[in-house]
Amino acid sequence: MKVLWFHLMPYQDLPEDFKDKHNSVWVDIDPALFDPLRGHEHYHEYMDQLEYAATAGFDGICVNEHHSNAYGLMPSPNLIASTLARNTRESAICVLGNSVALYNPPTRVAEEMAMLDCISGGRLIAGFPVGTPMDTCYAYGQNPSNLRERYYEGIDFVLQAWHADKPFAFNGRYNQQRYVNCWPRPIQKPNPPVWIPGGGSVETWQMCAQRSFVYANLSYFGHQASMTHIKGFWGEMQRLGKQPNPYQAAFLQFVGVAETRAEAEKLYGGPADYFYNRCLHTDPSYANPPGYTSEATVRARVTSQVLRAAEESRKATRSGGGAKFFDEGHVVIGSPDEVAEKLLSVCKEMHVGHLLLLLQFGNMSRDLTRYNTDLFAQKVLPQIRHLYEDEWEDHWWPTGMPKNLPKTQTQSRTTVGAAAE
Amino acid sequence: MSSYKERFVETPLGQTRIWEKGRGRKVGYFGGLYGVPQWTPFLEKLSETRRVIVPSLPGFPGGPSSEPLDGLLDWIIAAHDAFVAAGLERADLIGASVGGALAAECAALWPDTVRKLVLIAPFGLYDQNEPVADVFAQRPGQAAALVSQKPTELASYLSVPKDGDAGEWEVQALRASIASAAVIWPLGNTRLIKRIPRIGAPTLLVWGENDRVIPASYAKRFADAITGKTRVRLVKKAGHMADFDDPKGVVRSIDSFLAA
């Protein structure tokens, strides 16, 4: 199993009465709440944490894209990823990802990801989320009635731009461009591995199954919430007669490790409360613009993760919060052995080979993040990474630099696996 | 309400449902944000004096799929196709809300095709100082209160009929909201301002005084920009869906305008 260290980059100074005084953490978040000097500290601290995770034994480090959002300070994940690509040596750089429908032309995405692949030496994982309604339809004003179509076309555009061996014209429904010519070119051939972060959209399951992309279920509500969606994906794989390689799936889990469960509750209760009761204070008005949830999904009656977050947030407001995030598995906590056992069990049950971890969440301090990361790397990681190792091959992992390069190039900065010999 | 007739006509996008009732001079109706999922008291009242013809626009209940439509031009052509296929050429046309925006476009681009035009709180223009409200970013259950002064009646009108299939009804409503978004997302500004002077038909602007979506002051903006003779009628105790909120009052105004 591959284990990746994921950062959302939350703003840590939302006031205690945020939920009462403010409408939402997203879209209409009060600009006055952002202190740029704290922003300076946050970015450096968070990039330090990602770089540290890369040296601590995690297989990959992971960034993502949000807009007008106080729990996700990365409107441009590529900016962060470029510094990580330069300051790390071995870990995969997982960009989960770029919402291609937001970029006109999508050439920009093809180019920047190719740059990241070159800088990192073939360590890029290229993630393409459709993007949440808040990010895409509200913060970026895209029309929800054609967002998904634009998104699918954008992915085609980027892949063609990477594959083409000469300049070509792209004549799409939403993008027409006379000269598509992606310079620079990605190191990984034919393209960096493609991961699709998704929730419960039937179309996303179908696309991942049909096109051999990784389906990465990103839920803030832990393995219990992911279970339905991951099972939906495997159902689609089975229906299409595809091999159930666990490395074609990924899921996100909040984790807090300590010497004992009681200690973990004490340490992580505050940061979890900050995340679930301030960062997830979202306005359901923004959760379901027309067309964002497709007709097929409405027919399949799969609740959207965003709608769920908004509803959960309102429910929590009504009940005054509470610490159910531990009891319901939104955050897995415990001693290293307990956490390892739990993660092994849920990964096996979901048949998932890529585990994305949020070991920093909410307003977790620098020290506690380091403690959580170290304890996980030293005492949990060795117990779980053997899973699937002898049974399945990971076809969705970066290849790194090609082997047998001329001497000058083998002295480059980077390696993935055995690539730098 | 006594029954209306249903028939289907072929348009370039596919089968299009036409509802029809009444005798006398023909008048067409393009529905608003939700289309026309059920016959309304307004249409019933109107049909007492006229032959009311209601073609379904693409994506809205009874209409062909709106999926093939790309830009606004496609939408305008599709609306015109439905208008012609319903036998409404040179008839009077009423358009409400989203349907009002499309009715205004048809009257602007095919000036001879509409005899008299009635616009009920149409989308299409935008003033930064008095912005159009966001009809899409609404919490479940709140949209009805935004668009109507009779939210309970509206919610009941929009809910699945006793003999209907709840799942299909939900999908039909979803398609209608997608169609509305396709035309007016994100601000309701279709840049009609560039074409509105081409409207030469005599035009009645009907506006709910308490319209919380498009302020009633927009009635004057429309009236000032239209080249044809215009009349403005503000409807008391009515919101964005003035024809739903006060069917009798709105029909009275329309009757007197069309008869003049």
- B221: nearest Cα among B146, B121, B149: B121
pLDDT tens per residue, range B19-34: 999 999 999 999 999 9
DSSP string, B54-119: EEPPTTSTTSPPSTT--SHHHHHHHHHHHHHHTT-TTEEEEEEHHHHHHHHHHHHHSTTTEEEEEE
CA A52 – CA A372 distance, rounded (Å): 12
Angle between helices A336-350 and A222-239 (to 10 degrees): 30
- Provide the token pair at B109: 């681009």
B140·A284 Cβ contact <8 A: yes
B178·A144 Cβ contact <8 A: yes
**Residue A126 near residue A112 (C-beta atoms within 8 A):** no
pLDDT tens per residue, range B66-89: 999 999 999 999 999 999 999 999
Per-residue pLDDT of chain A (421 residues; tens, 9 = 90+): 999 999 999 999 999 999 999 999 999 999 999 999 999 999 999 999 999 999 999 999 999 999 999 999 999 999 999 999 999 999 999 999 899 999 999 999 999 999 999 999 999 999 999 999 999 999 999 999 999 999 999 999 999 999 999 999 999 999 999 999 999 999 999 999 999 998 878 889 999 999 999 999 998 988 888 888 899 899 999 999 999 999 999 999 999 999 999 999 999 999 999 999 999 999 999 999 999 988 877 777 655 555 556 656 555 544 444 568 898 889 999 999 999 999 999 999 999 999 999 999 999 999 999 999 999 999 999 999 999 999 999 999 999 998 877 666 555 555 554 433 3
Cα torsion B50, B55, B56, B62: sign? positive
Domain residue extents for chain A? 2-410
A145·B174 Cβ contact <8 A: no
Contact with chain B for residue A152, Cβ under 8 A:
no
**Residue A203 near residue A295 (C-beta atoms within 8 A):** no
CA A366 – CA A419 distance, rounded (Å): 33
CA B233 – CA B218 distance, rounded (Å): 12
A286·B137 Cβ contact <8 A: yes
Share of chain B above pLDDT 90, in %: 97
Rounded mean pLDDT, B47-58? 98
Rounded mean pLDDT, B248-259? 98
pLDDT of residue A420: 35
- A291: nearest Cα among B214, B59, B3: B59
Q: Beta strands A214-217 and A176-180: pairing type?
A: unpaired
Omega of the bond leading into A105 within 30 degrees of 0 (cis) = yes
Task: Give the pLDDT band (50/70/90) at residue B8.
Answer: very high
Q: Beta strands B91-96 and B203-208: pairing type?
A: unpaired
pLDDT of residue A317: 45
Helices (DSSP H) in chain B: which residue ranges? 41-46, 72-85, 97-109, 143-147, 151-158, 166-184, 218-225, 242-245, 247-259
pLDDT of residue A319: 40
Residue type, A226: S
- B192: nearest Cα among B119, B84, B258: B119
What does DSSP assign to residue A370? H
Note the residue count of chain B.
Answer: 260
A138·B177 Cβ contact <8 A: no
Average of per-residue pLDDT values in chain B: 97
Question: For residue B186, which phi and psi values (nearest 5 degrees)?
Answer: -100, -15
**Interface mutation vs chain B, best among A136, A145, A301, A313, most B CBs within 10 Å:** A145
The distance from CA A311 to its chain's CA centroid, rounded to whole angstroms, is 22
**Residue A180 near residue A168 (C-beta atoms within 8 A):** yes
Domain residue extents for chain B? 5-259
Contact with chain A for residue B140, Cβ under 8 A:
yes
Picking from A141, A283, A286, the nearest residue to B186 by CB comes out as A141
Share of chain B above pLDDT 70, in %: 99
pLDDT of residue A320: 41
Q: Enter the ipTM.
A: 0.93
On whether the A2-410 domain is CATH 1.25.40.10, my answer is no
**Whole-structure pTM value:** 0.93
**Residue A135 near residue A69 (C-beta atoms within 8 A):** yes
Contact with chain A for residue B168, Cβ under 8 A:
no
pLDDT of residue A295: 81
CA A248 – CA A266 distance, rounded (Å): 36
CA A299 – CA B97 distance, rounded (Å): 28
Q: Out of 3.10.20.740, 3.40.190.10, 3.40.50.1820, 3.30.450.20, which CATH number does the structure's domain B5-259 have?
A: 3.40.50.1820
